[in-house]
Amino acid sequence: MRSDVVIIGAGGAGLVSAINAHESGAKVIVLTKEYPTRSQTCMAQGGINAALSNAGEDSVEAHIKNTLKAAHGLAQESAVKFLCEEAIGAVEWLDSIGVPFSRTKDSKIAQRTLGGASAARACYAQDYTGLKILHTLYDRCLSLGIEILDERYLLEFITNKSENKVSVCGVSVLNKRSGEVEIYEAPSVIVATGGYSKIFHKHTTNSSSSTGDGIASALRAGARLSDMEFIQFHPTALKNSSILISESARGAGGYLLNSIGERFTNELLPRDEVARAIYDEMQKGEDVFLDIRHLGEAFIDEELPQERKLAILYENIDPVSDLIPIKPVAHYTMGGIEVDSESMTNVMGLFAVGECANHKVHGANRLGGNSLLELIVFGRQAGNNASKYAKNVKKDENISLHVEVESEVLDKIRNCTCRVSFYEKHKLIGDIFYKNVGIKRDKKELIFALDEIYKIKDDLPLMGVDDKSKIYNNNLVEFLEFKNMLELCETVLLSAIARGESRGAHFRVDAPSENDAIFKAHSIVDESGRVSYEN
Amino acid sequence: MKINIQREKLTQYEFDLEDATLLEALNEIKINQDASLVYASGCRSSVCGSCAMRVNGKEVLACAYKVQDGDLVEPLKNVPIIRDLVVDMSKAYKFNAKAKAWQSSPAKNISVTQEDEKINEVQSDCILCGACYSACPVYTVNSEFLGPFSLTRVWRYVSDKREDNTKDKIDTIQTNGVWDCTLCNECTIVCPQDISSKADIEKLRAKSAISGHMDPNFGSFGGFGGSFDGSPTF
Ligand SMILES: Cc1cc2nc3c(=O)[nH]c(=O)nc-3n(C[C@H](O)[C@H](O)[C@H](O)COP(=O)(O)OP(=O)(O)OC[C@H]3O[C@@H](n4cnc5c(N)ncnc54)[C@H](O)[C@@H]3O)c2cc1C
Ligand code: SF4
Ligand code: SF4
Ligand code: FES
């Protein structure tokens, strides 16, 4: 099938790109491995940032300043400026298409304070912000007649090389329902496949689909990845299930307490600092709790209904009367596919947006509420640019032969006897990563982790799938996801080992301070595993 | 603990887990016993709508249901089964498009108050899990019924000040829509988000009547003055 723009991923980033590409006149097809409304974007609770000044004084300048501060010198000022300036229009647009934002008494969009923000800047819809934004975007796509194909798993980006230039010309996907390989041709392809926190296995707040597929495939297609070592830990996930309790609970005045009921940090510091403070308490053998009892039942039910439901269901405690046991877990991946100021990667025609992309606005530590914002602002940009780019490419490429190539690869996996369980290996990687590539890191431990990854890689030929069926073979899809994660683990570790300093979410106990002379730069890693730094 | 899962054949699995959700149990079975078991999941926190299925005949979210010894686990009803607990939701989802469940055009400068926002707050909590769709008895007689979640979604937009063409919305849901519901309330009972599509459909019926539409059952069932189950329609 042919179109002007193919979009992989139907989370917030994918759907905003689709709407904008469509509105700028392109024929668009969106492919997703789930259904659009099931994308991880629906899990966002806290809010989306914009300096509207609806709940006190704020300014675009303050938003820029807070974002740059959290980024620890690693954000690109022009990109941050663009993000924050566009924020107000982005939220207004969401409001205009029907997102049911919570309101203030004087009919303005309500705002609350998230960590690292100097003002109440996050616009929210109770604690279902992501859900309501994603569903409204989905409805908007339906109203525009945009074609969205569900349950198509991205295999590879198809590229061609001419005159030293690599450009994209389509994608191959596995139709999960039929088990067949399908090819979609397009001069412009947008990657919007989300982040890679699932490498932490159960130590993450993320959806099980955050396996970094698009990033790994882009790397194989020749794109560069950057800042892969920066992985944000959210301070307050439920202790047993790793399910997120939103930062808005702290923003509203929730306390962090240790086992003896003492507060030990300023709850409203940026995430990296709060996560480290909690980690230190836990290293001392303390349990850590979030206390929102004093906010009162009425407030909790009005502003944090989902949080209460989740705590009751997954931790067997009611936050109205009990302390919530928490721990920090992997939450957001700042690194990803490197893009330029037009959202294009170094592969011509291949664009990236959302958590899988690195627009260099989060640097070493993302602020809460800036990610949903990024989806809207850069989604618009990527959609428009992909559409424009497609209009200027006149080549017709026959890439249907890739069906056979990819089918063979999949048949080979199906026919291989499975002697080593990749599920076990994923769990092992998650545990190693949580311990060694987590909140505090040490060079020796990172090297140990890399060795383990290489060992697992060596075992890959022994891994395979027990399920031989063609129809809806999740076992096969999960194996492909595992292979992608394994590839990304290596890039994370190579980047984390190379960065011999501490900055934002990357904290090295063996080099605890920032070293601007060498490392005030973005790390780049290519397929050969070479790490370099650029500004 | 033992549970029975409706696959091609009813299959029993035994595992050792305490205070676990059904989703955790399914994961345990898939990873340690039978990799060929298929089901859908995502957020594991009751917000993505992927893991709806039936336990002992009732629709639940696997990630929100605490598994019990002897449970019978089956896929959703009224949708084609792809394999095991995975069903094809595409036709069901298409009803959102058929019902035009969206805001017609971007709004300009419309002020939404706190009260306005509360009117459809619950309806916009829908996670599109399809539980209501599976529970709805109408599908056995009318497979083209627009159904509970899409009608709830129409109410969400119709009741929103930002919608500028409610007439078109109401006109659209006259055929295979609001009048085909039996008001049996099954959808409400199973909704994990405490949404009552039945109540939303009643509100849409009232709005339809105000817009001059009539209950088509009224003629044929004239003597009863109500819909199939005899409950009043206004
Ligand atoms: C619990 C939680 C709470 C959060 N709260 C907030 C918040 O309050 N504010 C904020 O700003 N941010 C928040 N975030 C972060 C934010 O939600 C995410 O960064 C953002 O939603 C990512 O959107 P995305 O569109 O890039 O990717 P996603 O929403 O993850 O979507 C990825 C899409 O790609 C598809 N896909 C992936 N791989 C493939 C493949 N191989 N083939 C085909 N399709 C594929 C998926 O099916 C999906 O449709 C939160 C995150 C979590 C987990
Ligand atoms: S209305 Fe309730 S049951 Fe129906 S799809 Fe929405 S959340 Fe699920
Ligand atoms: S009340 Fe109406 S929509 Fe709900 S289950 Fe009954 S017939 Fe279906
Ligand atoms: S896994 Fe998302 S609702 Fe159950």
ipTM here: 0.95
Please tell me the predicted confidence (pLDDT) of residue A527. 82
Strand extents, DSSP E, B21-62? 52-55, 58-61
List the single residue in B with minimal CA-CA distance to A107: B113
For residue B43, give the ligand 4 atom closest to its CA.
Answer: 2
Q: Taking CB atoms and an 8 Å limit, are B47 and A43 in contact across chains?
A: yes
Q: Quick one: pLDDT at residue B139?
A: 97
Q: Which of A378, A377, A373 is nearest to A50 (CA)?
A: A373
- Compute the distance between CA of residue A510 and CA of residue B168 in angstroms, rounded to an integer: 66
* Tokens 């490419």, located at residue: A393
CA distance A17 to B207: 36
Q: What CA–CA distances, in Å, run from A261 to A315, A323, A420?
A: 19, 10, 46
Ligand 1 atom nearest residue A210's Cα = 30
- Helix (H) or strand (E) segment spanning residue A136: helix A129-144
- Classify domain B2-87 at the CATH class level: alpha beta
Judge whether A293 counts as a catalytic residue: no
The alpha carbon dihedral of B144, B148, B149, B154 has a sign of positive
Residue B222: other Cβ atoms inside 10 A: 8
| Rounded distance between C-alpha atoms, residue A416 and residue A434, angstroms | 31
Instruction: Outline where DSSP puts E strands in B69-219.
Output: 72-74, 81-83, 86-87
The pLDDT of residue B163 is 96
Token pair, residue B22, equals 């059904």
Reported as type and span, the H/E element at residue B232 is none
d(C-alpha A215, C-alpha A195), whole Å = 8
| Spatial separation of the C-alpha atoms in residues B188 and B176, rounded to whole Å | 19
pLDDT, tens digit only, all 535 positions of chain A: 899 999 999 999 999 999 999 999 999 999 999 999 999 999 999 999 999 999 999 999 999 999 999 999 999 999 999 999 999 999 999 999 999 999 999 999 999 998 889 999 999 999 899 999 999 999 999 999 999 999 999 999 999 988 788 999 999 999 999 999 999 999 999 999 999 999 999 999 999 999 999 999 999 999 999 999 999 999 999 999 999 998 888 988 999 999 999 999 999 888 889 999 999 999 999 999 999 999 999 999 988 888 899 999 999 999 999 999 999 999 999 999 999 999 999 999 999 999 999 999 999 999 999 999 999 999 999 999 999 999 998 777 788 899 999 999 999 999 988 899 999 999 999 999 999 999 999 999 999 999 999 999 999 999 999 999 999 999 999 999 999 999 999 999 999 999 999 999 999 999 999 999 999 999 999 888 899 999 8
- The answer to whether the CB of A482 falls within 8 A of the CB of A426 is yes
Q: Whose CA is nearest to atom 8 of ligand 2?
A: B129
| Residue found by looking up tokens 């009425």 in the block | A298
Rounded Cα gap, residues A23 and A20, in angstroms = 5
CA distance to A312, B205, B224, per residue, from B209 (Å): 42, 6, 18
Handedness of CA A498, A500, A502, A503 (dihedral sign): negative
Query: And the tokens for B170?
Result: 């109401």
Which residues are CB-contacts of B27 (< 8 A; sequence separation ≥ 6)?
none
Which ligand sits closest to the CA of A131?
Answer: 1
Task: Report the residue among B96, B195, B197, B200 best suited for mutation to probe ligand 2: largest number of ligand atoms under 8 A from its CB.
Answer: B195
pLDDT average, residue stretch B81-109: 96
Report the share of chain B in percent with pLDDT over 70.
Answer: 93
What average pLDDT does chain B have? 93
Strands (E), A353-466: 357-358
Structure tokens at A125: 């819809």
Nearest CA to ligand 4 atom 1: B44
| Separation of alpha carbons A7 and A191, rounded Å | 6
What is the pLDDT, as a whole number, of residue B30? 96
Neighbours of A401 (CB within 10 A): 9
**pLDDT range class, residue B224, cuts 50, 70, 90:** very low
* CB contact B189 to A (< 8 Å): no
> Residue B219: what pLDDT?
57
Residue A318 amino acid letter: D
β-bridge mates for residue B6, sequence order? B10
Please give the single-letter amino acid code of residue A412.
Answer: K
How far apart are the CA of B119 and the centre of ligand 2, in A? Answer: 17
Lookup: tokens for A102: 């919570």
Closest by Cβ to B160, choosing from A98, A310, A314? A98
| C-alpha span between A382 and B154 (Å, rounded) | 31
Both tokens assigned to A442? 């040490």
Q: A372 CB contacts (<8 Å, ≥6 apart)?
A: A12, A41, A44, A47, A48, A49, A129, A130, A133
Cα separation, A328 vs A233, whole angstroms: 6
Token pair for A260: 């003896």
pLDDT at B222 over 60: no
Taking only the tens place, the pLDDT of each residue in B127-161 is 999 999 999 999 999 999 999 999 999 999 999 99
Residue A12: the pLDDT is 98
Backbone phi, psi, residue A47, to 5°: 155, 180
CATH architecture of A235-329: Alpha-Beta Complex (3.90)
- Pocket probe for ligand 3: among B181, B200, B204, B231, the residue whose CB has the most ligand atoms within 8 Å is B181
List of residues 6+ apart from B56 with CB closer than 8 A: B71, B72
Q: Which atom of ligand 2 is nearest to the CA of B133?
A: 4
Q: List chain A domain ranges.
A: 235-329, 402-534
Ramachandran bin of A521, using left for φ above 0, alpha for ψ from -120 to 50, beta for the remaining angles: beta
Its sign, for the CA torsion B144, B147, B150, B151, is positive
- Residue A31 token pair: 């492919």
Q: Collapsing DSSP states into helix, strand and coil, what is residue A2?
A: strand
Residue A48 backbone dihedrals phi, psi, to 5 degrees: -125, 130
Q: Which residue has the tokens 């569903």?
A: A135
Locate tokens 């989604």: which residue? A379
> Which residues approach ligand 1 with their CB closer than 6 A?
A 8-14, 31-34, 39-41, 43-48, 129-130, 152-154, 192-194, 205-206, 209-210, 213-214, 244, 332, 354-356, 368-372, 375
Q: What tokens does A92 get? A: 């207004």
Which residues face A324 on adjacent strands? Answer: A290
Output the CA torsion sign for A310, A334, A443, A428: positive
CB contact under 8 A, B83 and A471: yes
Phi then psi for residue B19, to 5 deg, are 50, 45
What is the C-alpha to C-alpha distance for residues A142 and A510, in angstroms, rounded to an integer? 53
How far is the C-alpha of A416 from the C-alpha of A300, rounded, in Å?
52
Its CATH class, for the domain covering B90-211, is mainly alpha
The verdict on the CB of residue B23 being under 6 Å from ligand 2 is no
Instruction: Return the pLDDT at B230.
Output: 42
What strand order describes the sheet that includes B52-55? B10-14, B2-6, B72-74, B52-55, B58-61
Q: Tell me how far apart the alpha carbons of residues A284 and A110 are, in angstroms, rounded to a whole number.
A: 39
Cβ(B170)–Cβ(B208) under 8 Å?
yes
Provide CB contacts within 8 A for B32, sequence distance 6+: B15
pTM comes to 0.96
% of chain B residues with pLDDT over 90: 88
For residues A426 and A208, what is the distance between their CA atoms, to the nearest angstrom? 12
Transcribe A323-366 into DSSP letters.
Answer: PEEEEEEEEEE--EEE--TTSB-SSBTEEE-GGGEE-SSSTTSP
Secondary structure letter of residue B161 according to DSSP: T
Q: How far is A82 from chain B (nearest CA, A)?
A: 24
Q: Which of A380, A442, A405, A498 is nearest to A86 (CA)?
A: A380
Of B73, B162, B71, B155, the residue nearest B121 (C-alpha):
B155
Fold of A402-534: Methane Monooxygenase Hydroxylase; Chain G, domain 1 (1.20.58)
Tokens at residue A411, please?
């048949």
Q: What distances in angstroms separate CA A111 from CA A253, A406, A514, B221, one per listed residue?
A: 14, 48, 33, 52
Q: Of A140, A152, A224, A271, which is the active-site residue? A: A271
Q: Quick one: which ligand is closest to B229's CA?
A: 3
CB neighbour burial string for A135-155, b if at least 16 within 10 angstroms, e if fewer: bbbbbbbbbeebebbbbbbbb
Q: Using CA atoms, how far apart are residues A109 and A86, in angstroms rounded to an integer?
A: 17
Task: Tell me if A72 sits within 8 A of A504, measured CB to CB.
Answer: yes
Band the pLDDT of B231: cuts 50, 70, 90: very low
Digit-coded pLDDT (tens) for B6-55: 999 999 999 999 999 999 999 999 999 999 999 999 999 999 999 999 99
